[in-house]
C-alpha cells in the first residue's frame, strides 16, 4: 500500500464506519465519519489530538480524546511518563490497543527527542536503540504512525561570545545518510510507518535523503508552526508533497519567531489553498483551545 493512500479500499465509501489500515498494522475501525465536505475538494482527513497538557494515564487520554470527538490520540514525546516504552509492558500495550479499538479511535505516537544526528557517538547509539524501542511500541499499539524529529544540530557557543549551529562548522551529510539508513531498517523490521517532522535545521537535506533513499515506510509530517519559523509553510508543503509521502500535519500557530503552539488564527500561519494530508493533529497545549482550533479548522478547510 502506498504511503499517500493509507485508507485502502475505504476511500470513497459512504458508510458510517471506516477501516483505516496503516503501515502494515492491524486495521482500526473508526466510529465517526468525518468526511465533511466544503466547497473546496479536500482528501479524507482524520483529526487527532496531541497530548495537550499533563495527563496521568494512557486511559485518561484515550477516554477524553474520544469524548471530545477526535478520531485519534497522539501520545506526545514518549520520554514523558507514562508513555515510555519501559513503562508499558506487553499487557499494558495490549490493553491500550484494545481500549482504543473499543472507543473507535486510533493511536499515533510522537517519538521522544532522540538525536540521530548528534556529534556524540554515545548519544547517537542511544538514539538508535531508543528509536527501535519506540517503533516496537508503535507496532504493539497498532499505531497509525510514529513521528520523530530525528535530530537537530547542537547550538554552539563561540569564542567571541556569539552562537552558531553545529552544522555551520561540521559536515552533517554522512549523519543524515546514516540516520535515514537506520530509520529505514527500523521501519522495515517493525513494519511501522515512521514520519520525519520538520524542525529548524537540515530540513531540506533530510527531506531529500528520505525521498531518494529511504524505505517506502518512511514519510513526512509537516509541522506548520515550525515551517512558519523557517522554510515557509507553503514552500515546505510543496517540497514534501512532491515526494508523494506527505502523510500528516501538526497544526498550531505562531508569529514566525518562537514555537508558541498557539491556537490556529492567533498567529501568522496561513493554510489557504493547501491540499491536506490524511492525518491532521492539533498541537495546542490546552484542551479547550485544541478543540476550538479543530472546530475552526474543520469549518474553514474541510
The 10 Å CB-count burial string (b at 16+, else e) for 157-183 is: eeeeeeeebbbeeeebeebbeebbebb
The 10 Å CB-count burial string (b at 16+, else e) for 43-70 is: ebbbbbbbbbeebeebeebbeebbeeeb
User: Residue 283 Cβ, how far from Zn ion at the closest point, in Å?
Assistant: 5
**Rounded-to-integer distance, Cα 258 and Cα 213, Å:** 32
**H or E element: which one contains 182?**
helix 173-190
Q: Tell me which residue of 152, 171, 164 sits closest to 114, measured CA to CA.
A: 152
User: Residue 253 Cβ, how far from Zn ion at the closest point, in Å?
Assistant: 12
Which residue's CB is nearer to Zn ion, number 100 or number 221?
221
User: Residue 230 Cβ, how far from Zn ion at the closest point, in Å?
Assistant: 13
Which residue's CB is nearer to Zn ion, number 140 or number 283?
283
User: Residue 251 Cβ, how far from Zn ion at the closest point, in Å?
Assistant: 9
Which residue's CB is nearer to Zn ion, number 198 or number 243?
198
Which residue's CB is nearer to Zn ion, number 200 or number 287?
200
Contacts with Zn ion, residue ranges (CB under 5 A): 223, 250, 283
Which residue's CB is nearer to Zn ion, number 18 or number 107?
107
Closest residue to bound Zn ion by CB: 250
Amino acid at each position: 500500500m502506498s504511503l499517500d493512500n493509507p485508507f485502502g479500499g475505504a476511500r470513497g465509501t459512504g458508510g458510517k464506519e471506516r477501516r483505516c489500515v496503516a503501515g502494515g498494522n492491524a486495521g482500526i475501525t473508526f466510529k465517526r465519519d468525518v468526511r465533511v465536505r466544503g466547497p473546496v475538494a479536500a482528501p479524507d482527513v482524520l483529526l487527532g489530538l496531541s497530548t495537550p497538557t499533563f495527563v496521568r494515564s494512557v486511559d485518561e487520554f484515550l477516554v477524553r480524546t474520544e469524548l471530545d470527538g477526535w478520531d485519534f490520540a497522539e501520545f506526545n514525546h514518549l520520554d514523558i511518563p507514562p508513555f515510555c516504552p519501559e513503562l508499558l509492558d506487553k499487557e499494558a500495550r495490549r490493553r491500550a490497543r484494545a481500549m482504543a479499538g473499543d472507543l473507535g479511535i486510533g493511536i499515533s505516537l510522537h517519538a521522544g527527542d532522540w538525536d540521530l544526528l548528534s556529534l556524540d557517538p554515545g548519544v547517537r547509539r542511544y538514539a538508535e536503540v531508543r528509536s527501535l524501542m519506540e517503533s516496537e511500541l508503535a507496532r504493539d499499539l497498532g499505531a497509525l504512525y510514529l513521528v520523530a524529529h530525528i535530530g537537530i544540530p547542537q547550538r554552539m557557543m563561540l569564542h567571541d561570545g556569539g552562537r552558531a549551529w553545529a552544522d555551520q562548522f561540521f559536515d552533517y551529510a554522512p549523519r543524515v545518510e546514516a540516520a535515514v539508513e537506520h530509520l529505514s531498517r527500523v521501519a522495515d523490521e517493525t513494519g511501522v510507518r515512521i514520519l520525519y517532522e520538520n524542525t529548524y535545521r537540515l530540513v531540506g537535506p533530510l527531506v531529500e535523503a528520505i525521498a531518494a533513499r529511504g524505505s517506502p515506510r518512511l514519510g513526512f509530517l509537516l509541522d506548520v508552526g515550525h515551517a512558519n519559523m523557517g522554510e515557509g509553510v507553503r514552500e515546505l508543503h510543496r517540497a514534501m508533497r512532491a515526494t508523494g509521502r506527505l502523510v500528516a500535519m501538526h497544526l498550531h500557530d505562531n508569529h514566525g519567531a518562537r514555537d508558541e503552539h498557539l491556537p490556529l488564527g492567533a498567529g501568522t500561519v496561513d493554510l489557504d489553498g493547501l491540499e491536506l494530508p490524511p492525518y491532521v493533529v492539533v498541537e495546542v497545549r490546552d484542551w479547550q483551545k485544541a478543540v476550538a482550533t479543530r472546530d475552526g479548522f474543520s469549518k474553514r478547510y474541510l
